[in-house]
Amino acid sequence: MLQKLTLPLPDDFHIHLRQGNDLANYAKRAAEQFGRVLAMPNTEPPIDSAEAAKQYKKEILAAAPNLDVLLTFKLSKNYTEQELLEMQKNGVVAAKYYPFGVTTNSQDGVSQIEDIYPTITLIEKLDLVLSLHGEEPDAFCLDREREFLKHLEKLSKEFPNLRIVLEHVSTAEAVKCIAGLPQNIAATITVHHLILTLDDVIGASLKQQNFCKPLPNSPRDREAVRQAAFSGNKKFFLGTDSAPHSLEKKECLGGAAGIYSAPVAIPILIEEFEKENKLDLLPNFIAGFGADFYKIPRQTEAVEYIKTEWQVPKTMDGAVPLRAGETLKWQK
């Protein structure tokens, strides 16, 4: 039986590191698990300028000096080419699109994607990546991603050279859509969408800790996401969407959406890939396809994991991690 596993140092192409007092803990925790991360811009205030990006990177590196930090900016308005170039110089590799009101800190999101087509034209020209929170705000909650796919198909036609990532893909229809679009269209897969369905949020009792956007969907959808992850198709790679909120902000009236998965992501992935007999495909999923898509060098460092059971703490950094209190099989 396999007792040791050597993997390339993982990349996380979608993580929330927040701001203020929480940032240092979340950044350190991310650096324990990942060599490189793409940090999302829905901080308060948002990352929406070169100055903000520069400052944010500085704060992350102060806490986690060895973390390779890639940045995104928030597409809440149109930007000039000069502004985009300045951001690009400061480590920004992607523009993050949030539709209005669909998730945490998206009150400044965009109502009509066509309103920001001028900026998308520049994003394509500068070869930045367009990163999409793909949910249609007014649709029924379990159909929001499916209803968004028409916008993705339209973007792909109108901007044929634009690299687009549909973040946290969560439905069978979206997996099929991504697989059928050209090679410049990819998707990230989270750990939680590989293991949860809506039953894990509201099926037996209300489990606020598993509440996130897009919602974990049906067993059929989860199966499609799993098959995409285990397919070896280079269009699908890891972006955890690890999104910590304090226990108080999760377990209250109007609790926040987001799952804190960074501390447990890789151990859970090893377990899931092992279960499916697909461990040979894990290196590319966590440290290959994403880097290739973003046109950056692959990681060369390696990390060793050992099979030793451990119990996930009930809280970490003031938040409840995914699978809190449960036993995992692998650790670093």
| Residues assigned a catalytic role | 241
Q: Which of ligand DOR, Zn ion, none does residue 92 bind to, with CB < 5 to 8 Å depending on kind?
A: none
Binding flag, residue 241, Zn ion (CB under 5 A): yes
Nearer residue to Zn ion within complex by CB, 241 or 317: 241
Could you tell me which residues are beta bridge partners of residue 132?
97, 166
Using CB under 6 A as the criterion, which residues of the chain lie in contact with ligand DOR when the complex forms? 16, 42, 103-104, 133, 212-213, 241, 243, 257-258
d(CA 181, CA 189): 17
Q: How many CB atoms are closer than 10 A to CB 151? A: 17
Nearer residue to ligand DOR within complex by CB, 18 or 36: 18
Binding flag, residue 221, Zn ion (CB under 5 A): no
Q: Report the C-alpha dihedral over residues 242, 246, 248, 254, rounded to 10 degrees.
A: -40
302: left (phi over 0), alpha (psi -120 to 50) or beta: beta
- What single DSSP character describes residue 199? I
Q: Which of Zn ion, ligand DOR, none does residue 104 bind to, with CB < 5 to 8 Å depending on kind?
A: ligand DOR
Closest CA to 52 of 43, 62, 65: 43
Taking CB under 5 A as the binding criterion, the range among 73-81, 105-113, 234-242, 247-255 that sits at the site for Zn ion is 234-242
Residue nearest to ligand DOR (CB): 258
Rounded least distance, CB 319 to ligand DOR, Å: 11
Rounded least distance, CB 332 to ligand DOR, Å: 25
Q: Which helix (H) or strand (E) holds 265?
A: helix 265-275
Contact between 236 and 187 (Cβ < 8 Å): yes
Rounded least distance, CB 156 to ligand DOR, Å: 21
Phi, then psi, of 12 in degrees rounded to 5: -120, 110
Nearer residue to Zn ion within complex by CB, 122 or 225: 225
Rounded least distance, CB 168 to ligand DOR, Å: 7
d(CA 166, CA 233): 15
Q: Which of ligand DOR, Zn ion, none does residue 124 bind to, with CB < 5 to 8 Å depending on kind?
A: none
Q: How many CB atoms are closer than 10 A to CB 248? A: 11
Torsional sign, CA 247, 248, 253, 255: negative
d(CA 63, CA 321): 20
Q: Which of ligand DOR, Zn ion, none does residue 212 bind to, with CB < 5 to 8 Å depending on kind?
A: ligand DOR
Q: Which of Zn ion, ligand DOR, none does residue 103 bind to, with CB < 5 to 8 Å depending on kind?
A: ligand DOR
Closest CA to 167 of 271, 41, 28: 41
Nearer residue to ligand DOR within complex by CB, 7 or 319: 319
Question: Which residue carries 């799952």 as its tokens?
Answer: 259
Binding flag, residue 11, Zn ion (CB under 5 A): no
By rule CB under 5 A, what count of residues binds Zn ion?
A: 1
Rounded least distance, CB 296 to Zn ion, Å: 20
Cβ neighbourhood burial of 153 (10 Å; 0-12, 13-18, 19+): middle
Nearer residue to ligand DOR within complex by CB, 110 or 122: 110
Rounded least distance, CB 4 to Zn ion, Å: 32
Cβ neighbourhood burial of 19 (10 Å; 0-12, 13-18, 19+): middle
Nearer residue to Zn ion within complex by CB, 124 or 241: 241
Taking CB under 5 A as the binding criterion, the range among 110-118, 196-204, 224-232, 236-244 that sits at the site for Zn ion is 236-244
Q: Which residues here bind Zn ion, judged by CB under 5 A?
A: 241
